[in-house]
Structure 1
Amino acid sequence: MTLSVSESGVSAEVVAAVDVNTIANEVYRHNFPDTPLWAKSIEGISLKELDSLSFDMILMSPPCQPFTRIGLQGDVSDPRTKSFLYVLEILPRLQKTPGYILLENVKGFESSEARNKMIRTLEDCGYIYQEFLLSPPCLGVPNSRLRYFLIAKLRMQPFSFQTSNTILEVFPCSDTSGRGASSRARSLGGTLQVTADPRRPVRPAQGGDGAYLYKLETAEQLERKRLQDSDSSVQTLQDFLEEKVEISRYLLPPKSLIRYAWILDIVTPTCRRSTCFTKGYGHYVEGTGSILQAAADVEMSSVYNSLETLSDEEKLAALSTLKLRYFTPREIANLHGFPSVFGFPDKITTKQQYRLLGNSLNVRIVAKLIALLLQPPQNAT
């Protein structure tokens, strides 16, 4: 959020950053040593302490676990919503009502009771608002990370665009970053779906246009990938890769190659897509993010078409020729829009870096929303 404020071009001072995660706080202090950091829960901050800050804007990412589709979806009954509900409870009681609010969460939050409570609170406090479902390809970034966003401002300060009671899937036309109707389709890119036992080989099936399905995917999924890779408004992955990588540190281990070969989402540097990176990336394989093929001179289809008749040892040898590796933490940070000046303290392990990045957000999208939030109406003097 702090990086997004800077990226937005808005002149602002961060009066307090709040988080309970010890590792996240160490990284924050490393990058923002002069910003007040409160290592405590939101609900542990008194009304008096909040009033003393006299802040103009709240930027927040409440815990997403109560709303994820793979979780229990406990919504407001989940104890992890306590901090968010405290913000809603205390907002009307602040001496100075903040002029601006931005919230980020996972897709699924838009249909939650927590969201409904938020909307009722905002309306009671005199805010107007706009909701979004946005993913980085709408800004030309080759990474699917569909997230819910809300921006709100006090009613006496109208937006620079016409708000809608529907959730927008592109930036409004008044923001020059909008890319038209095609962005709507790109923003909805999802993760590869597993349709069978990943340990059981399947015979490659022919898809549309003579293309072959080398892994456990449908013809529809293959076509979606083809369309994503042909979208020239999105950059290629090579624009986000490090020039020098110690590949041996990031190669998939043999056990993972054998077990998960059929469900890996493999991309090359010339691809214009990658799946969402989660906090389990680098530790788990299934559904945690794309894998990069580092061997540019090896044809993936020829390798996969040969696997069915091979022993495990032979399969491993064949798959190893692709040099399949994890994206580095720096490369994921690049895809998330983190500037080159952002870094991790030396004592933060690679696994910890992956966990933090998997729980993070796209800096560029939030920066655009902050700029949009503070942009005055066109007829304002």
Structure 2
Amino acid sequence: MSRLRVLELYSGMGGMHCGLTESGASAEVVAAVDVNTIANEVYKYNFPNTPLWPKSIEGIPLKELDSLSFDMILMSPPCQPFTRIGLQGDVSDPRAKSFLYVLEVLPRLQKTPKYILLENVKGFESSEARGTLIKTLQSCGYHFQEFLLSPTCLGIPNSRLRYFLIAKLQSEPFAFQTTNKILETFPSTNESEVKRTGCDLGLEVHPQADTHQKKAASSAQCPEGDIVYKLETAEELERKQSQDNDFSVHTLQDFLENTEEISQYLLPPKSLLRYALILDIVKPTCRRSTCFTKGYGHYVEGTGSVLQTATDVEISSVYKSLETLPDEEKLAKLSTMKLRYFTPREIANLHGFPAKFGFPEKITIKQQYRLLGNSLNVHVVARLITLLLQSH
């Protein structure tokens, strides 16, 4: 069987490419397309032999696309037109123009690609753009399956819910029964597809703890009890504790760097004082972290979890009566937790990027955070590509 020829649109720093490699598919990326110059630098650094087109997609004529003769499209169109916290301009947003061009060109290609994988934010599933996508796929003879998936379903302690669609020409059946419903887990197939363990993710897996060990571990992970501190409701605390007691998910320590150079990642005093009540604090033994956004490391509110490195300090004792203290004493108490940002490499680990994936020296820490915040989970993509290529 000849190698699949893959076109990677909105290639970013190469998350889709990494997922393709991890899937083990016999394939080559014949062109990667993106206009982000910083992302392109990282892509070239990691995939020097892949043709990279630093141009707008809508600027690529049909004839040039036909010349690639590709079998598969991987794409992550801009999410800003569909994100819940944005203006939700949908198809009227100028940033959706390139995606609409892809849908306009697809029926006109000399060779209809067999496979398509698309990723976007939650919210895309209810957009007008999604409706146009579905109509186009149906008119071109594809059948498809939609998903809303988070890495937690693969045992990864990071919430990053994203919309995915996989499509293939109807002449090639899926290995599972498709449905009009949006799936929130991976379907089982004829092959022994089971929930991936740490072994599949390249992690060291420890023997499952027995009941007594589990109880001991759960009490050592994240704060418990009836004290509602910070600006958290009892329901939020209960949800977090439930996540930390899910032993099908790895602990964060499996993804952390063994580094002593953490001083540059410690939260500055100003941030500690201003955002103390809204920080999402996790310990290495926790089995959860919130979604990391492109503002992580620069902004604090809502951009991702922070790590408590002084693990012997009880968070509840730090926050008890915190608001009644003067700033100097408040800062002294907060500083005992030694809160720091996750490093870019740690976020890359949670996103599933392989150990050999790196950043050129000239790419700043802030730029790395931005790229990672815009990226996707490699392991989820790899599993979807495997599903896409399987048949009855």
Alignment TM-score, normalising by the size of structure 1: 0.90
Q: Deviations over 1:138-170 (max 9, x none)?
A: 000000000000000000001000000000000
Matches within 5 A, 1:94-113: 94-113=109-128
Instruction: Tell me, yes or no, if the aligned pair for 1:31 and 1:343 is still in contact at 8 Å.
Output: yes
- Give distance in 2, aligned partners of 1:376 and 1:64: 31
- Give distance in 2, aligned partners of 1:297 and 1:218: 24
- Give distance in 1, aligned partners of 2:236 and 2:150: 18
SS at match of 1:13: strand
Note the C-alpha offset of 1:210: 4.1
- Find out whether 1:69 has 2:84 as its counterpart: yes
Q: Deviations over 1:245-288 (max 9, x none)?
A: 41111000111000000000000000000000000000000000
**Partner of 1:124 in structure 2?**
139
Instruction: Tell me, yes or no, if the aligned pair for 1:139 and 1:177 is still in contact at 8 Å.
Output: no
SS at match of 2:27: coil
**Partner of 1:201 in structure 2?**
none
Counterpart of 1:117, as a letter, is: T
Structure 1 residue ranges (4+ consecutive) displaced by more than 4 angstroms after TM superposition? 175-180
Counterpart of 1:62, as a letter, is: P
SS at match of 2:30: coil
Q: Deviations over 1:54-113 (max 9, x none)?
A: 000000000000000110000000000001000000000000000000000000000000
Q: Deviations over 1:334-376 (max 9, x none)?
A: 0000000000000000000000000000000000000000012
**Partner of 1:38 in structure 2?**
53
Instruction: Tell me, yes or no, if the aligned pair for 1:138 and 1:178 is still in contact at 8 Å.
Output: no
**Partner of 1:159 in structure 2?**
174
- Give distance in 1, aligned partners of 2:192 and 2:80: 33
Instruction: Tell me, yes or no, if the aligned pair for 1:141 and 1:235 is still in contact at 8 Å.
Output: yes
Instruction: Tell me, yes or no, if the aligned pair for 1:159 and 1:373 is still in contact at 8 Å.
Output: yes
Instruction: Select which of 20, 42, 52 maps to 1:5.
Output: 20
- Give distance in 2, aligned partners of 1:107 and 1:342: 27
Note the C-alpha offset of 1:212: 1.4
Counterpart of 2:37, as a letter, is: T
SS at match of 1:59: strand
Note the C-alpha offset of 1:28: 0.3
Instruction: Select which of 153, 158, 168 maps to 1:143.
Output: 158
Counterpart of 2:147, as a letter, is: F
Note the C-alpha offset of 1:296: 1.3
Instruction: Tell me, yes or no, if the aligned pair for 1:258 and 1:315 is still in contact at 8 Å.
Output: yes
Counterpart of 1:86, as a letter, is: Y
Instruction: Select which of 74, 80, 102 maps to 2:95.
Output: 80
Instruction: Tell me, yes or no, if the aligned pair for 1:104 and 1:148 is still in contact at 8 Å.
Output: yes
- Give distance in 2, aligned partners of 1:178 and 1:80: 38
- Find out whether 1:360 has 2:382 as its counterpart: no
**Partner of 2:251 in structure 1?**
236
**Partner of 1:214 in structure 2?**
229
- Give distance in 1, aligned partners of 2:70 and 2:195: 33
Matches within 5 A, 1:344-355: 344-355=359-370
Instruction: Tell me, yes or no, if the aligned pair for 1:172 and 1:178 is still in contact at 8 Å.
Output: no
**Partner of 1:194 in structure 2?**
none
**Partner of 1:250 in structure 2?**
265
Instruction: Select which of 292, 316, 323 maps to 1:301.
Output: 316
Alpha-carbon distance change, 281 to 94 in structure 1, aligned in 2, over 3 angstroms: same
- Give distance in 2, aligned partners of 1:104 and 1:233: 25
Matches within 5 A, 1:168-187: 168-174=183-189, 176=192, 178-179=194-195
- Give distance in 1, aligned partners of 2:192 and 2:34: 33
SS at match of 1:16: strand
Figure out how many residues of one structure are paired with residues of the other and give that number.
350
- Give distance in 1, aligned partners of 2:180 and 2:263: 50
Q: Deviations over 1:9-65 (max 9, x none)?
A: 101010000000000000000000000000001101110110000000000000000
- Give distance in 1, aligned partners of 2:90 and 2:107: 22
Name structure 1 gaps, 5 residues minimum.
181-208
**Partner of 2:289 in structure 1?**
274
Counterpart of 1:338, as a letter, is: F
Counterpart of 2:150, as a letter, is: S
Note the C-alpha offset of 1:176: 4.9
Instruction: Select which of 341, 345, 353 maps to 2:356.
Output: 341
**Partner of 1:320 in structure 2?**
335
